[in-house]
Amino acid sequence: MEEMESVISRFFLHNWQRKVVGLLTAIIIWLFVNHSINATKTIANVPIRIINLPSDKTISGLLPNGMLTRRIALTVTGTMNVVEDLEAGDLEVLLDASLADSDEWIVQITKKNLVSLNPSIDLRHHITQLEPTDLVIKLSRLITAKIPLTIETPTGNPPQGYEYLDIWPQVLTQTLSGPEDDVQKLKEQGLHLTFDLRDITKAELDAIKSNLHNDEISFPIPKKWKRVSIPFQNNNFEDLNDPESQNLRIDFLRKEFLPLGKEIPIRVFYPLAELDKINPETYALETNDDIVKVDGTYIFKKPLYAREVSRLFIEVIRDSIEIVIVASPKNERNILVWSIEYINPRGLEDTYVAFSITNSLTNKGNQVSGIPKKKEELLRRRFREYMRRMMLYLTETRKLHIKGSLEGDQIKVTAY
């Protein structure tokens, strides 16, 4: 054991000065050799940045931060331990547009165009060669234009208990600056923006109150949703800049079971083609517990309810609707058809629109003259849709069914 320790001690201590010098020399030689060995590597997707672009010019695919959506592959040669670890994110190509001699700018990318994005990499000392790369960049006239922006019908389903009505405004404009060809093409095609109803929660809608009837409500579009992708900017998003975008909202109907609140007339329509056989004198409407005759007019007595329409709609139409039964010969049909009919529907529509506009402008403190024509058209479509889908109910779970038939010299009607 002592002999072994003695051998080890002599090995390290004998001529130790020479051995230290030899070790240091070996390290220096290794470092020199390691840093003198070159390697070549092709790096894909290297970003390109443009600087000093004339104020009246731009480049297709140029982003607001000066980067091009276009990227290139570069073949570099340099110190092996640096080059082998190089990635696209470590460098960029910097091009000075003030050096462009024409709109068809042909650039030969050299080592001097490389910029290190990694503070630990010194490209100047470690990159010895860059394979010549020619790049053609087309400069275009910079123009600014208003691009039509269509707000599409939202996708997805609304929260439980609510029904989508419509969206407003439906058309905006987006002021864009960019290459002349790209902007003109986009001006023809237009931009489109679609919201998803699944991004709206029931709690958000429950918290919204309406001054009038509290069932037609407006959900204001959050600012973070008011962004549109620009195709010639690599579909990067840009904030909406039309002043009208601050009014963007989606209107919903709170689904409720609404009492009609009034008895309504019921009458028989006698077609002219059969009038010689079926008319009020040959087949009169039979009265019963549900149908009574008051001053020559038949009245349906059962309480009625409605769904999928608003309180305002009910208030407007309740005095101007009736149940109509169509008289037909027995050889054509045993059970007579019936429908809900509106008296003076255009006048009812005008009334609904007027009330809606008044309520909307009262909430905003505007004048009635300030309502846009397209907004009025939207309200008219909403009213017509209410008319189309309105259904009468006897209870929350029972729709109104009417069975009418010719019996003897009367038209017998049963409601169930």
Q: For the chain, give every domain's residue range.
A: 2-140, 143-254, 258-415
CA distance 80 to 89: 18
Cα-trace Rg, the chain? 40
CA distance 148 to 188: 9
CA distance 168 to 250: 6
Q: Give me the pLDDT at residue 367, please.
A: 45
Q: What is the DSSP letter of 117?
A: S
CB 221 within 8 A of CB 250: yes
Containing 405, the helix (H) or strand (E) segment is strand 402-407
Predicted structure pTM score: 0.77
pLDDT digits (tens, 9 = 90+) for 165-202: 999 999 999 999 999 999 999 999 999 999 999 999 99
Among residues 7, 34, 31, 28, the alpha carbon closest in space to that of 20 is found at: 28
Q: Give me the pLDDT at residue 39, please.
A: 87
Among residues 274, 377, 285, 359, the alpha carbon closest in space to that of 316 is found at: 359
Mark the ranges of the chain whose per-residue pLDDT is less than 70: 1-23, 25-36, 211, 361-371
CA distance 129 to 114: 11
CB 208 within 8 A of CB 217: yes
What residue has token string 């600012």? Answer: 223
CA distance 8 to 73: 56
pLDDT digits (tens, 9 = 90+) for 350-409: 999 999 988 776 555 444 445 678 889 999 999 999 999 999 999 999 999 999 999 999
CB 304 within 8 A of CB 264: yes
Cα separations in angstroms, 407 against 143, 246, 279, 282, 332 = 78, 63, 14, 11, 15
Report strand pairing: 305-307 vs 48-51. Answer: unpaired
Q: What angle do CA 148, 224, 159 make, to 5 degrees?
A: 95
CA distance 153 to 307: 23
CA distance 148 to 305: 43
